[in-house]
């Protein structure tokens, strides 16, 4: 049976069966995990790749940035192990961005080979962000790290399981390098369980459909996506579109770090040329090339055809040119822990460039960050060490027909909000306040979304705070006359006032009577503020997200001429 002779109904049934496998394993991993970062925030992904390492299907709730790590892992496995050395019951583990296809060390990749009819069909993959992987700073994500060796345990591609037998010495090595080994053990075994569940489910599919049928369906799914994406690119006017932006800093003294992009569209091809961007920096905001590829893949799908499947077909359309050793294509021993912040900026830049070609698809710059907050110390309730890790959302930019979203994760990361109840139950921390930041979304015909403010205090003990921010000094810009959003900031209570912390603070001591204040960036607006609907201005006023002064300053004619209803 060839791909051309498979009827469409069979293709859809088989494709849906594999989508159900990755969705089920995603939920299984989430419900089995120990850490709040996985079980509550869902900072994990699952996927199936074929025997050639092509991404075939990814769970619906997966993170777009994880597409890079999974395809990178596949290349590393297939380069190291010939097919004759890949056997049933094996499970591979890796995390290193420089030798194992990862994007940063906390994201640990697992892959279990899938066999049908005695032959290798592909791999069940999953990835989860572990709250700590060792290194010089709790949480393995703080600023101030100047090389990959400081960021934590580097794991090349190794077999954690051989023919179903766990290699205990490898597990012991991974746990010894983590600050909270019991939590890490629980998360590792959640990933292992998800692998085994996926293997069982694929075997069940193999009882109904032949190996050749499934392989042909895989080919069809990739080709469908590739064809649709090429057609979508062809709808973009031919031309050269350029844009540039800057990163705030690298945490080690380098500021306003430029990233430049030139997109050349010709027919159904779009080439993303990042040459001229900054050389890789000392601080840990560098991006491996596969993470740049993930950013391009996400942006293409989001801007041109959001309904297509997220698989190898999109990756095949990502034509990238870059300078080796640059911030968008770093080489060892570059530190990369905060690479997600830079990946977010890459997407803003892609949107900024394409705004000249497809203005109806553009959005104001979003919060452009994964604002990271890490609290660690000794829990006074039981004397055990703890580590609370979270990345907080912010504003999503204004669009051509509606306002941006307030307080959300954006673009390449879609992790969930961590509930206050979970924080206060699992950690000796009190969330004093949590809400939106007034006046933080940029004004416009359609305003940008606002940022978040979370105030946290250690309970009956002293703790250490580490953070990583972006869009803290360079505000998220608006488009087509929209105004910029408010930048973010970290603060600590200092006696009767507040002290501003660095953009990427590390090792900040927080006494029991002090509080850390995390304020995430807002986002840019879309279109001139003078064109805003008066009723929308009134809704902003009633919502109390925007002050009278802000509204009067940005919408003077509307506020002056609009008769407010009696309260």
Q: How do residues 32-89 score in pLDDT, each as one tens digit?
A: 999 999 999 999 999 999 999 999 999 988 888 888 788 899 999 999 999 999 999 9
Domain contains 261: no
| Structure tokens given for 408 | 């959300």
Per-residue confidence (pLDDT) for residue 380, from 0 to 100:
96
User: Which residues make beta-bridge pairs with 456?
Assistant: 431, 516
Domain contains 265: no
- Residue 315: phi, psi to the nearest 5? -60, -40
Residue 368 confidence class, pLDDT cut points 50, 70, 90: confident
With both helix axes pointing from N to C terminus, report the angle between 8-32 and 211-234 in degrees, rounded to the nearest 10.
90
Length of the chain (residues): 567
Domain stops at, among 198, 226, 254: 226
Q: Tens digit of pLDDT for each residue in 136-163?
A: 989 898 888 999 999 999 999 999 999 9
Q: Tens digit of pLDDT for each residue in 374-423?
A: 999 999 999 999 999 999 999 999 999 999 999 999 998 888 888 899 99
- When comparing pLDDT for 367 and 413, which is higher? 367
Same domain, 413 and 560: yes
- Judged against a pLDDT cut of 90, whether residue 562 lies above it is answered with no
Mean per-residue pLDDT of the chain:
94
pLDDT cut 90: percent of the chain above it: 89
- Judged against a pLDDT cut of 60, whether residue 1 lies above it is answered with no
Residue 2 confidence class, pLDDT cut points 50, 70, 90: very low
Range scoring the smallest mean pLDDT among 59-68, 169-178, 182-191, 504-513: 59-68
Per-residue confidence (pLDDT) for residue 69, from 0 to 100:
81
Going by the DSSP 8-state scheme, the letter that residue 486 receives in this structure is P
Q: Residue range 274-296: average pLDDT? A: 96
Domain contains 443: yes
Q: How many domains does the chain have?
A: 2
Q: Give the C-alpha separation, 245 to 474, whole Å.
A: 9
Give the position of tokens 């305003």.
447
Per-residue confidence (pLDDT) for residue 561, from 0 to 100:
57
Per-residue confidence (pLDDT) for residue 61, from 0 to 100:
84
3-state secondary structure 333-383: CCCCCCHHHHHHHHHHHHHHHHCCCCHHHCCCCCCCCCEEEEEEEECCCCC
| Structure tokens given for 567 | 């309260």
Domain contains 437: yes
Domain contains 495: yes
Per-residue confidence (pLDDT) for residue 567, from 0 to 100:
45
Q: Are 75 and 101 in contact (CB under 8 A)?
A: yes
Structural domain including 81 reads: 3-226
- Judged against a pLDDT cut of 60, whether residue 566 lies above it is answered with no
Per-residue confidence (pLDDT) for residue 4, from 0 to 100:
52
- How, if at all, do strands 269-273 and 319-321 pair? parallel
Q: Residue range 338-348: average pLDDT? A: 95
Q: How far is CA 396 from each of CA 159, 368, 417, rounded to the nearest angstrom?
A: 41, 9, 15
- Judged against a pLDDT cut of 70, whether residue 553 lies above it is answered with yes
- Judged against a pLDDT cut of 70, whether residue 280 lies above it is answered with yes
Per-residue confidence (pLDDT) for residue 412, from 0 to 100:
87
Domain stops at, among 226, 259, 274: 226
Domain contains 276: no
Find how far residue 158's CA is from the centre of its chain: 25
Per-residue confidence (pLDDT) for residue 563, from 0 to 100:
47
Q: Tens digit of pLDDT for each residue in 536-546?
A: 999 999 999 99
- Judged against a pLDDT cut of 70, whether residue 30 lies above it is answered with yes
Show Cβ contacts of residue 389 under 8 Å, excluding neighbours closer than 6 positions. Answer: 35, 37, 131, 132, 139, 141, 372, 373, 374
Sign of the CA dihedral 233, 237, 238, 241? negative
Domain contains 257: no
Q: Give the C-alpha separation, 379 to 384, whole Å.
A: 5
Q: Residue range 462-482: average pLDDT? A: 96
Per-residue confidence (pLDDT) for residue 144, from 0 to 100:
86
| pTM of structure | 0.94
- Residue 464: phi, psi to the nearest 5? -115, 135
User: Computed over its alpha carbons, how large is the radius of gyration of the chain?
Assistant: 24
Going by the DSSP 8-state scheme, the letter that residue 64 receives in this structure is T
Domain stops at, among 226, 252, 287: 226
User: Which residues make beta-bridge pairs with 473?
Assistant: none
- Judged against a pLDDT cut of 90, whether residue 495 lies above it is answered with no
Q: Give the C-alpha separation, 171 to 168, whole Å.
A: 5
Q: Residue range 473-481: average pLDDT? A: 97
């Amino acid at each position: 049976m060839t791909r051309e002779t498979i009827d469409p109904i069979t293709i859809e049934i088989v494709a849906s069966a594999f989508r159900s496998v990755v969705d089920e394993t995603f939920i299984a991993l989430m419900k089995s995990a120990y850490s709040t970062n996985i079980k509550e925030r869902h900072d994990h992904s699952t996927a199936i790749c074929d025997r050639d390492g092509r991404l075939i299907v990814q769970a619906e709730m997966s993170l777009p940035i994880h597409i890079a790590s999974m395809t990178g892992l596949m290349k590393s496995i297939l380069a190291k192990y010939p097919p004759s050395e890949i056997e049933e019951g094996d499970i591979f583990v890796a995390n290193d961005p420089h030798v194992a296809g990862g994007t940063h060390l906390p994201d640990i990749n697992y892959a279990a080979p899938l066999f049908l009819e005695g032959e290798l069909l592909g791999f069940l993959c999953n990835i989860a962000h572990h709250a700590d992987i060792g290194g010089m700073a709790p949480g393995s994500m703080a600023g101030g790290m100047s090389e990959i060796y400081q960021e934590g345990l580097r794991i090349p591609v190794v077999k954690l399981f051989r023919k179903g037998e766990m290699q205990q010495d490898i597990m012991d090595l991974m746990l010894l390098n983590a600050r909270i080994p019991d939590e890490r053990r629980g998360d590792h075994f959640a990933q292992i369980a998800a692998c085994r569940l996926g293997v069982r489910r694929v075997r069940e599919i193999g009882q109904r459909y032949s190996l050749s049928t499934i392989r042909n369906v895989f080919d069809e799914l990739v080709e469908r996506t590739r064809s649709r994406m090429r057609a979508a690119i062809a709808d973009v006017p031919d031309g050269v579109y350029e844009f540039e932006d800057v990163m705030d800093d690298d945490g080690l003294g380098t500021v306003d770090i430029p990233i430049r992009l030139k997109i050349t569209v010709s027919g159904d091809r779009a080439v993303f040329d990042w040459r001229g961007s900054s050389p890789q920096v000392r601080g840990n905001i560098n991006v491996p090339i596969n993470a740049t590829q993930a950013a391009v893949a996400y942006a293409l799908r989001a801007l041109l055809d959001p309904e297509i499947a997220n698989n190898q077909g999109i990756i095949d359309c990502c034509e990238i040119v870059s300078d080796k050793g640059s911030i968008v294509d770093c080489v060892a021993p570059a530190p990369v822990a905060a690479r997600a912040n830079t990946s977010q900026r890459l997407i803003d830049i892609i949107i900024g460039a394409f705004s000249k070609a497809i203005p109806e698809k553009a959005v104001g710059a979003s919060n452009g960050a994964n604002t990271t907050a890490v609290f660690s110390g000794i829990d006074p309730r039981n004397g055990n060490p703890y580590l609370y890790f979270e990345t907080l959302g912010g504003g999503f930019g204004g669009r051509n027909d509606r306002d941006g979203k307030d307080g959300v994760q954006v673009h390449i990361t879609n992790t969930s909000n961590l509930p206050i109840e979970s924080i206060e139950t699992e950690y000796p921390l009190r969330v004093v306040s949590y809400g939106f930041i007034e006046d933080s979304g940029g004004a416009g015909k359609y305003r940008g979304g606002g940022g978040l403010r979370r105030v946290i205090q250690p309970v009956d003990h002293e703790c250490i705070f580490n953070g990583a921010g972006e869009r803290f000094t360079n505000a998220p810009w608006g488009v087509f006359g929209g105004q910029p959003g408010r930048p973010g900031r970290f603060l600590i209570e200092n006696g009767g006032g507040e002290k501003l912390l660095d953009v990427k603070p590390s090792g900040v001591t927080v006494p029991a009577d002090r509080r850390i204040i995390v304020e995430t960036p807002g986002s840019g607006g879309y279109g001139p503020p003078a064109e805003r609907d008066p009723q929308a201005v009134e809704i902003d006023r009633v919502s109390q997200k925007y002050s009278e002064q802000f509204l009067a300053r940005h919408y003077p004619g509307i506020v002056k001429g609009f008769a407010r209803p009696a309260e």
